[in-house]
């Protein structure tokens, strides 16, 4: 992986694309794992979610195969450069855009911070969207506005500035949480499946309450890295994230010793 090139793309344009990062076998395996939840029974509840789109939340509680993209080393190597240690998984959801879907409004994934921290600002999160079908010009591919991660609050996004992220299945677009983007309209005859893991600063509240969405008995099946991303971790120094004065890993493994942090919390 040309890490420096991808880092520079994100710094300058706000996004970068890894083409065919996921093998075809992994794409097929993850799609199969999601198939029980994609039966057009629960469509979006509003125009933002998409009345012709299915959204599947709490993915790590439903399809363990998703962990492969959550902790993909190429992606985490990139996120490591933009977020501070012990960053968290803020959201992980599948979005299946069906024919007839209209475009979303332009938005940023860290928009909750806008009332507190004026733009331009350093990114508080990094988002990814993995293609599990080809993203094409007319099937609802994500649209981004290059450079918009550097805009002030005064500048509004417009359709004329947007470009479609066209990429084959198995690819992923990685972008700054401050980048304006949206799901595009699907004017084709087929659906478009994407999965979007999003990462955030360790002190920022996650979009999905991961410790409830993926409780200890389910989190126990995952790697230590995924457990930490879910929130079974602490911020050091400060011991932010403890449970009953102990490291949250104790909820998964009562014998977990961890590291000592403060004299008044010797068993962290």
CB neighbour burial string for 137-148, b if at least 16 within 10 angstroms, e if fewer? eebbbbbbbbeb
Q: Is residue 21 assigned to a domain?
A: yes
pLDDT for 44 equals: 84
Distance, CA of 251 to CA of 242 (rounded, Å): 11
Distance, CA of 99 to CA of 171 (rounded, Å): 21
Question: Which residues on neighbouring strands pair with residue 125, listed in sequence order?
Answer: 200
Q: Is residue 241 assigned to a domain?
A: no
Distance, CA of 249 to CA of 183 (rounded, Å): 36
The token pair that represents 96 in the structure block: 């299946």
Q: Is residue 18 assigned to a domain?
A: yes
Q: Is residue 112 assigned to a domain?
A: yes
Q: Is residue 211 assigned to a domain?
A: no
pLDDT for 263 equals: 35
Q: Give the CATH number, domain containing residue 91.
A: 2.60.120.620
Q: Is residue 217 assigned to a domain?
A: no
Q: What is the pLDDT along the chain (268 residues), one digit of tens a residue?
A: 799 999 999 999 999 999 999 999 999 999 999 999 998 777 888 888 889 999 999 999 999 999 999 999 999 999 999 999 999 999 999 999 999 999 999 999 998 877 788 899 999 999 999 999 999 999 999 999 999 999 998 999 999 999 999 999 999 999 999 999 999 999 999 999 999 999 999 999 999 999 999 999 999 999 999 999 999 998 877 678 888 888 898 899 888 866 544 433 444 4
pTM over 0.85: yes
pLDDT for 181 equals: 98
Cis peptide before 71 (omega within 30 of 0): no
The H or E element spanning position 10 is helix 3-13
Overall domain count for the chain: 1
Q: Is residue 141 assigned to a domain?
A: yes
Residues in Cβ contact with 202 at an 8 Å cutoff, skipping those fewer than 6 apart: 83, 84, 85, 86, 87, 88, 233, 235, 240, 241
- Convert 59-102 into a string of H (helix), E (strand) and C (coil): HHHCCHHHHHHHCCHHHHHHHHHHCCCCCEEEEEEEEEECCCCC
Placement of tokens 């949250």 in the chain: 248
Q: Is residue 216 assigned to a domain?
A: no
Say if residues 185 and 47 touch (Cβ distance below 8 Å): no
pLDDT for 7 equals: 97
pLDDT for 65 equals: 97
**Domain range enclosing 18:** 3-206
């Amino acid at each position: 992986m040309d890490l420096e090139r991808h880092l520079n793309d994100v710094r300058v344009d706000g996004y970068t694309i890894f083409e065919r990062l996921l093998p075809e076998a992994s794409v097929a395996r993850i799609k199969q794992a999601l198939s029980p939840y994609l039966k057009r029974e629960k469509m979006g509840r509003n125009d933002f979610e998409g009345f012709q789109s299915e959204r599947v939340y709490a993915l790590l509680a439903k399809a363990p195969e998703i962990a492969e993209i959550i902790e993909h080393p190429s992606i985490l190597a990139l996120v490591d450069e933009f977020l501070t240690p012990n960053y968290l998984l803020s959201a992980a959801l599948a979005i299946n855009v069906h024919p007839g879907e209209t475009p979303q409004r332009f938005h940023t994934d860290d928009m909750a911070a806008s009332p507190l921290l004026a733009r331009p600002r350093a990114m508080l999160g990094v988002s990814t969207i993995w293609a599990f079908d080809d993203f094409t010009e007319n099937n609802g591919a994500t649209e981004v506005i290059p450079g918009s991660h550097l805009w002030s609050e005064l500048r509004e996004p417009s359709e004329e500035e947007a470009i479609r992220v066209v990429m084959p299945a198995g690819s992923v677009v990685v972008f700054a949480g401050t980048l304006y983007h949206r799901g595009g309209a699907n004017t084709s005859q087929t659906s478009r499946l994407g999965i979007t893991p999003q990462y955030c600063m360790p002190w920022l509240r996650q979009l999905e309450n991961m410790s409830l969405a993926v409780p200890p008995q389910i989190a126990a099946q995952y790697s230590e890295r995924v457990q930490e991303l879910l929130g079974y971790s602490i911020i050091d120094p400060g011991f932010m994230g403890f449970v009953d004065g102990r490291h949250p890993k104790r909820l998964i493994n009562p014998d977990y010793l961890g590291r000592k942090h403060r004299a008044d919390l010797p068993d962290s």
